[in-house]
């Protein structure tokens, strides 16, 4: 092996409740418009044709509890509270049973978004990367293994800013369920351990400012928190 010209930062790894080992973050897939009320607030009708995705880069992920600067290039920086699914075994073209067995753990996550850039690029039929794949733009809370938690229809998902509730829904509202997402996505990628899937956000997204504290929760999972400091 030749020497590397320079070294890269270590990829982040997410703690797992009750375990000494951590879950290294590989790829991050995000489902778009997976709650009808959120699709409506973004000006879209929901369809059941197929789920769609965008990605976030692993080096852009941070752990819950981080304080990060308000990002450059935006005047409309939004939170999105989401259920994250951590893949635990290799899976390709999975049926629904195999898809369910591929889940290793679940966790709370924030899909932070430069909404003005996302909408601008979307309207020009350009990719969403500037709006979505930003530095510190995805936040992971500690994971909980499937043996200890599973999503129920009445499981509440919520988010507050400075203690004021902004998103409040249940997982029953998910348009594409976990096994459907894994089954579909695994038709296009060889999913493997380290892959995390953010399953979309409920209604109530909105802007945050420097100084704000964002806290999200899903019943039974570890909460996720992010604090915004002044722009650099
Ligand atoms: Mn999202």
- Ligand 1 centroid–CA 68 distance in Å is 19
The rounded mean pLDDT for the chain is 96
Burial state string for 2-14 with b = 16 or more CB within 10 A and e = fewer than 16: eeeeeeeeeebeb
Residue 158: give the domain boundaries. Answer: 21-211
Task: Evaluate whether residue 15 is within a structural domain.
Answer: no
- Ligand 1 centroid–CA 30 distance in Å is 6
The CA angle 80-81-84, to the nearest 5 degrees, is 115
Cα 151 from chain centre: 16
Residues 97-149 have pLDDT tens digits of 999 999 999 999 999 999 999 999 999 999 999 999 999 999 999 999 999 99
- Ligand 1 centroid–CA 232 distance in Å is 25
- Ligand 1 centroid–CA 29 distance in Å is 10
Query: Tell me, what's the pLDDT at 1?
Result: 84
Task: Evaluate whether residue 170 is within a structural domain.
Answer: yes
Q: Residue length, the chain?
A: 232
- The C-alpha atoms of residue 23 and residue 14 are separated, in whole angstroms, by 5
CATH of the domain at 145: 3.90.850.10
Task: Evaluate whether residue 132 is within a structural domain.
Answer: yes
Query: Tell me, what's the pLDDT at 132?
Result: 98
Please answer whether residues 90 and 191 qualify as being in contact, where contact means their C-beta atoms are separated by less than 8 angstroms: yes
Question: CA nearest 89: which of 225, 186, 220, 176?
Answer: 186
Task: Evaluate whether residue 75 is within a structural domain.
Answer: yes
- The C-alpha atoms of residue 34 and residue 171 are separated, in whole angstroms, by 10
**Tokens for 163?**
């203690």
Please answer whether residues 106 and 149 qualify as being in contact, where contact means their C-beta atoms are separated by less than 8 angstroms: yes
Low-confidence ranges of the chain (pLDDT < 50): none
- Ligand 1 centroid–CA 39 distance in Å is 11
- Ligand 1 centroid–CA 7 distance in Å is 31
- Ligand 1 centroid–CA 82 distance in Å is 7
**Tokens for 85?**
């699914």
Task: Evaluate whether residue 224 is within a structural domain.
Answer: no
Sign, CA dihedral 112-17-168-228, equals: negative
* pTM > 0.85: yes
> Residue holding tokens 């005047």?
75
Task: Evaluate whether residue 32 is within a structural domain.
Answer: yes
Query: Tell me, what's the pLDDT at 11?
Result: 80
Q: How many domains does the chain have?
A: 1
Cα 229 from chain centre: 21
Task: Evaluate whether residue 222 is within a structural domain.
Answer: no
Please answer whether residues 160 and 215 qualify as being in contact, where contact means their C-beta atoms are separated by less than 8 angstroms: yes
Task: Evaluate whether residue 104 is within a structural domain.
Answer: yes
> How many CB atoms neighbour CB 153 within 10 A?
10
Query: Tell me, what's the pLDDT at 159?
Result: 98
């Amino acid at each position: 092996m030749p020497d590397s010209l320079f070294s890269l930062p270590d990829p982040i790894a997410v703690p797992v409740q009750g375990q000494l080992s951590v879950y290294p973050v590989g790829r991050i897939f995000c489902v778009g418009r997976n709650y009808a009320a959120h699709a409506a607030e973004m000006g879209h009708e929901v369809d059941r044709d197929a789920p769609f995705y965008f990605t976030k880069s692993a080096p852009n992920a941070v752990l819950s509890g981080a304080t990060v600067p308000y990002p450059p290039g935006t005047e409309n920086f939004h939170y999105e509270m989401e259920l994250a699914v951590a893949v635990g075994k290799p899976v390709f073209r999975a049926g629904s049973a195999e898809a369910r067995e591929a889940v290793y753990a679940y966790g709370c996550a924030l899909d932070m978004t430069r909404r003005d850039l996302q909408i601008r690029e979307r309207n020009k039929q350009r990719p969403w990367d500037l709006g979505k794949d930003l530095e510190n733009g995805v936040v992971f809370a500690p994971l909980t293994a499937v043996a200890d938690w599973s999503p129920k229809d009445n499981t509440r998902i919520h988010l507050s800013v400075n203690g004021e509730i902004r998103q409040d829904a249940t997982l029953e509202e998910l348009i594409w369920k976990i096994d459907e997402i894994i089954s579909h996505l695994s038709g296009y990628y060889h999913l493997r351990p380290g892959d995390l899937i953010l399953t979309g956000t409920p209604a109530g997204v909105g802007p945050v400012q420097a100084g704000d504290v964002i806290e999200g929760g899903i019943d039974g999972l570890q909460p996720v928190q992010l604090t915004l400091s002044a722009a650099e």
